[in-house]
Amino acid sequence: MVGVAAALVAVILGTLYGSLSGYLGGKVDSVMMRLLEILNSFPFMFFVILLVTFFGQNILLIFVAIGMVSWLDMARIVRGQTLSLKRKEFIEAAQVGGVSTGNIVIRHIVPNVLGVVVVYASLLVPSMILFESFLSFLGLGTQEPLSSWGALLSDGANSMEVSPWLLLFPAVFWW
């Protein structure tokens, strides 16, 4: 659930940001991409840990925080696809027909980049699960009664000398 929810946040933010940046082009695209590069330079693990410690261990906050980390790459991918679609005949026909920028982006560009977005989102889900597991291993992720790989590994590591199977079984499936 964590992987799918975080990937959904990344898909929505990254698709909207990347498609607008690629379609508007020029100085707007340049400023939006520089902002993206600045955000990409921050250590996001520290950012997520800071959010979780400041606002508490809410599962919804964990979904949003992990999703906010991963939308940057999605925006780059969507921007690249949008730049290639921007000069296609159907986009130029919509521009000549007087269709607004928002409608062109939502009705023409976003549906045509969804194939790439779905493929990248399917690759995001496992990495988001591992990211949440790492947070849970540190004690910042999901808490009881919910469970995650990280929480199981943390509990197993604490009782490794007495009952090593509590660490062995989650660790086997971690890889």
Cβ atoms of 15 and 113 within 8 Å: the answer is: yes
What pLDDT does residue 149 have?
67
Alpha carbon distance 102, 116 (integer Å): 21
Q: Name the domain count of the chain.
A: 1
Q: Which domain holds residue 49?
A: 2-125
Q: Is residue 154 part of a domain?
A: no
Q: Is residue 160 part of a domain?
A: no
Q: Is residue 146 part of a domain?
A: no
Q: Is residue 81 part of a domain?
A: yes
Q: Is residue 152 part of a domain?
A: no
pTM beyond 0.85: the answer is no
pLDDT tens digits, 144-169: 776 776 777 777 777 777 777 777 77
Q: Is residue 162 part of a domain?
A: no
Q: Rounded to whole angstroms, what are the CA distances from 80 to 33, 93, 113?
A: 11, 21, 10
